[in-house]
Structure 1
Amino acid sequence: MVVGLSKALLSMFSEDLGVLAKKEALLESIGGDENVGGGYRMNFYPKCPEPELALGLSPHTDPGVMTVLLQDQVSGLQLNKDGVWISVPPLQDALTVLIADQLEILSNGIYKSVNHRTIVNSEKERMSIAIFIYPEANKMIGPFEEVVKKRECSPLYTEMTFNEYRKIIRTSGLKGKAILKSRFIKNT
Structure 2
Amino acid sequence: MNGAGEVSDKVSGDTRLGPGLLVLVVGPSGAGKDTLLAYARARLEGHAAIVFARRRITRAVDATEDHIAIDEATFAEGVAQGRFPLHWRANGLAYALGPEVGEAIAAGRIVVANGSRAAVAEARGRFAHIKVVHVTAPPDILAARIAARGRESEAEVLARLAREPALDAPPELRILNVDAVDAAGERLAAFLRGL
TM (norm. structure 2) is 0.30
Q: Greater helix share, 1 or 2? A: 2
- TM normalised by structure 1 equals 0.31
